[in-house]
Amino acid sequence: MARKERSGTDLGSFIRQQRERANLSLRRLAERAGISNPYLSQIERGLRRPSARILKSLARALSIQAESLYARAGLIEDGAKPPAVTEAVEADEVLLPRQKQVLLELYRTFLDGSKERYMKENQ
């Protein structure tokens, strides 16, 4: 199988896995992404290569990062560095400022605990 065909199948399989993980039917995901069921079915089977716009809609409907779909589709280099936890929390548009603050405080507490444990284990 050619690389282009294989990446389409890999992308489709990944989308199917994410859809199943989110417990969405094919019809429901298509509806949420604003595309037709037959088109989504063709994407999942690797028969169609969706545009970046469609991938972004699918990512939004699946609540995943569009970059993960772009990389699987070969639109960006795989291995792009994911955002740091603090950057991701700060950039989140759904969380309220207080929720972001609490998450970041908790994250920093975990980091401090991990650093202390690491220091003790490596003395």
- CA distances (Å), 89 to each of 20, 63, 100, in order? 26, 15, 6
User: What pTM value is reported for the model?
Assistant: 0.60
pLDDT at residue 118, as a whole number: 65
SS3 96: coil
* Tokens read off for 118: 């690491």
The pLDDT of residue 4 is: 44
Q: What is the mean pLDDT of each run of 10 residues along the chain (123 residues)?
A: 52 93 94 96 94 94 88 77 76 89 89 72 71
Q: What superfamily in CATH does domain 3-73 come from?
A: lambda repressor-like DNA-binding domains (1.10.260.40)
Q: What is the pLDDT of residue 6?
A: 46
* Cα separations in angstroms, 8 against 50, 87, 93: 9, 31, 30
DSSP, collapsed to helix, strand or coil, labels residue 75 as coil
